Amino acid sequence: MPIWIDTHCHLDALEFAPDRDAVRAQARAQGVHHLVIPAVELAHAEAVRQLAHRYGDSYALGIHPLYTPQAGDGDVAALGRLLEQYRSDPHLVAVGEIGLDYFVPGLDAARQEQFYRAQLQLARRFDLPVILHVRRSADRLLKGLREIPVQGGIAHAFNGSLQQAQAFIALGFKLGFGGALTYERALQLRRLALELPLEALVLETDAPDMPPHWLYRTAQERAQGQPQGRNAPAQLPRIAAVLAGLRQLPLDTLAQAHCANTGAALPRLAAALAFRAVF
């Protein structure tokens, strides 16, 4: 069975509270041996750290753009203190999830930018890659990265243009593909998955969010009593099979490339896994 890494899974989410141990066990049974669990706000930092240690996974610490309205003005400084406190923890692999979101209405763009740039500075200070939230914001994110260079990382749930993808790659980033790729109507995203070099791609679920098509229920279906399927890290191999089919690759070949790409994007994760002889 191929070995997989879910490069973006919110295992700390409330949706997993009733059966978190079972969710993690099911993922492992499907070959998903490692998760990257990014925080979305300061209040989640301890939870993601504890989960990573509990299951032998990795975590990232950051303030998500959707959480900037409730974030305190001192939260970036507090995040810096946490990164200092845990800088020798091999489970800590990135600053994230950070970024910009110009899709959700009502968010203060200037405040998002303030938090984004401040967290890029923290990534530079602690020599960590970043996990980026990219939603209708690729060009502004790239501008920030050119002005405050970091060691790279992952552009999570990427859905920009080929030119934007190439710009992220040139700055040392891998691009995350997940459940959105499984929809036949996602023509631009599927074209990107074919045109980009294999060494630029990593796989993710964004669980419990971003369900693949086989879990998705329309509004009408939900109104008729069909529950929305909960995305989970155990779905990653099936998502990977879609990408392998599009690229006409053996699944083992994709798995090996994905693990190598993840290690290149998150060097501390690669070092930890090599030490545990997972690769």
Contacts of 163 (CB under 8 A, 6+ apart): none
Token pair of 117 as six digits: 């740039």
276 falls in which pLDDT band (50, 70, 90)?
Answer: low
pLDDT score at 279: 43
Sign of the alpha-carbon torsion through 27, 28, 30, 34: positive
10 is in an annotated binding site: yes
156 is in an annotated binding site: yes
Fold type of domain 4-275? TIM Barrel (3.20.20)
**E strand residue ranges, the chain:** 4-6, 32-38, 58-61, 92-101, 130-135, 153-156, 173-177, 201-203
pLDDT digits (tens, 9 = 90+) for 57-86: 999 999 999 999 999 999 999 999 999 999
106 falls in which pLDDT band (50, 70, 90)?
Answer: very high
**E strand residue ranges, 137-252:** 153-156, 173-177, 201-203
Q: Average pLDDT of 202-224? A: 89
pLDDT digits (tens, 9 = 90+) for 39-49: 999 999 999 99
CA–CA distance from 132 to each of 60, 116, 123, 205, 223 (Å)?
11, 9, 12, 15, 34
Whether residue 143 is predicted with pLDDT greater than 80 in this model: the reply is: yes
CA–CA distance from 60 to each of 107, 128, 178, 245 (Å)?
23, 10, 19, 31
Sign of the alpha-carbon torsion through 11, 16, 21, 23: negative
> pTM here?
0.96
The strand pairing partners of 133, in sequence order, are 99, 156
133 is in an annotated binding site: yes
Q: Where are the domains of the chain?
A: 4-275
Query: Mean pLDDT over all residues of the chain?
Result: 96
8 is in an annotated binding site: yes
Q: Whats the size of the chain, residue-wise?
A: 279
258 is in an annotated binding site: no
pLDDT digits (tens, 9 = 90+) for 7-18: 999 999 999 999
34 is in an annotated binding site: no
